[in-house]
Amino acid sequence: MIGRALLLFVLTLGATAPAVAAGRTARLVLIATGGTIANDPHGRLSADELVEQLPGRASLGQITTESFANASSTALSLDDWSRLSRHVTSILTATDAPDGVVVTSGTDTLEELAWFLHLTVPGPRPVVVVGAMRRPGTLGEDGPRNLADALRVAAAAVSRDRGTLVVMHGQVHSAWSVRKHHTTSLSAFDEAGGVSAGAVTAGRVTYRPSAVVRPAPGLLQIATDVTLPRVDILETYQGADGDLIEAAAGAGAAGIVIAGAGAGSLTPSQATAARRIARAGIPVVVASRTGDGLVGPVGGEDVGLVSAGALSPLRARLLLILALARQTPIEEIGRLFASVSAANSGLRPIAGGRSR
């Protein structure tokens, strides 16, 4: 049964990381999906071309390349993400599985992709998502360095059991809290609280002793025959009317996330509409638009009105999508969100299928 608490690995490894076992060359898979990192002025780069531009690439490991897509991050659909997740899972659960997988992505929705993969890809081997803020061949291009760092992170022994990670600008971020906080800066990514999970310095991978992994990687794997439902995000602002909540439900949304003001405040009109929709069987998750902090209990007796806890609206949406895709009962969804947000939890990954 989904509920109670969720697996929290308190990681105490802060030393520099060797690249897998001593004397063995790391085996890695690079999967390219497009984005700025591949958007060369003379044509989009393939996965092979991305690797070819890396100086000293032979020292990074034995790299197998695949071109999954070659588009901006916003051009990929949730169905594309599902196929990517299942493909990465098949690679990492094979008998001859590599040491890690690196996925290149556009940066606009990179934090969402990383969270999605963390929730859906199980196992100890790392998945590292990487992108670039500057196009290839332009002044200050950061793609080659970011990609080289991502490959080093995927090969590092201390990256195991950390789920999906994001590597940008020499920093290693957890899928749980990474966010894009600037439109164009090379250091556009950080984490809530301002401290990254780790770093790549002079080719060496290190992690903070207090870095944590939550939830357990692959908590909500995707079955091959599952269609991901529509979940919309709405926002609270001065005078926001609840009719947009009603309209989203009427347009086919199977769930709704509201980015509330402050600690999850809604306007009276929104609150009324949210309760009405929740009582009709459409879960409504209340998050905060602030970018950090917790949303406390919101539902009272309405089990379909759920607090996102520490999850951002974007992360809450993806968690709700995956929960609904598994036909999770509405009364279980609140417990799932509480578990995922909990700092001390013990939920185990569940294979694809209905939650129970």
User: Which whole-number Å values give the CA distances from 235 to 126, 240, 257, 291, in the listed order?
Assistant: 34, 8, 8, 13
- The answer to whether the CB of 103 falls within 8 A of the CB of 31 is yes
- Count CA within 13 A, CB hemisphere, residue 352: 15
Q: Give the chain's length.
A: 356
Would you tell me the crossing angle of helices 268-279 and 243-250 to the nearest 10 degrees? Answer: 30
Distance CA 79, CA 293 (A): 31
**Hey, which residues are catalytic here?**
36
Question: Strand runs (DSSP E) across 246-324, as ranges?
Answer: 255-260, 284-288, 305-307
- The answer to whether the CB of 62 falls within 8 A of the CB of 28 is yes
CB atoms within 10 A of CB 100: 28
Distance CA 82, CA 88 (A): 10
Distance CA 256, CA 281 (A): 11
- The answer to whether the CB of 257 falls within 8 A of the CB of 285 is yes
User: Which whole-number Å values give the CA distances from 196 to 185, 210, 218, 264, in the listed order?
Assistant: 17, 10, 22, 26
